[in-house]
């Protein structure tokens, strides 16, 4: 009986760890884009932000520098509002 209770408690604890982070509100970061690292990564202040849903070539790949320049023209020095969910993209 004690083993069943231990297993049940471990199961509930694991379920809480899995479910509650998914229900958490995203952290909102607002500020000015201070740097463009490449075509899909910017910095707001000193915080790097990987843009969800954007897949740009790396700087050493064809069109990598062009994608960075495009992003610079689009967002550098402008205001940004980022919803940081903690998800890795």
Residue of 5 and 37 predicted with greater confidence:
37
86: region left, alpha or beta (phi > 0 left; psi from -120 to 50 alpha):
left
Query: Full-prediction pTM beyond 0.85?
Result: no
- For the domain that residue 64 is a member of, what is the CATH number? 2.40.50.90
Q: Where are the alpha helices (DSSP H) in 1-89?
A: 2-23, 64-75
pLDDT tens per residue across span 15-65: 666 666 555 677 889 999 999 999 999 999 999 999 988 999 999 999 999
Q: Is 53 within the bounds of a domain? A: yes
- Residue 14 pLDDT exceeds 80: no
Domain that holds residue 55: 26-84
Q: Is 42 within the bounds of a domain? A: yes
Q: Is 72 within the bounds of a domain? A: yes
In contact, 84 and 29? CB cutoff 8 Å: yes
Total number of domains constituting the chain: 1
Predicted pLDDT at 77: 96
In contact, 55 and 89? CB cutoff 8 Å: no
């Amino acid at each position: 009986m004690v083993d069943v209770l231990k297993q049940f408690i471990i199961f509930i604890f694991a379920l809480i760890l899995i479910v509650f982070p998914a229900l958490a509100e995203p952290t909102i970061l607002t500020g000015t884009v201070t740097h463009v690292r490449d075509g899909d990564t910017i910095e707001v202040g000193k915080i790097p932000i990987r843009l969800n849903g954007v897949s740009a070539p790396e700087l050493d790949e064809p069109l990598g520098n062009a994608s960075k320049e495009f992003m610079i023209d689009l967002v550098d020095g402008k205001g940004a509002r980022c919803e940081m969910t903690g998800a890795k993209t």
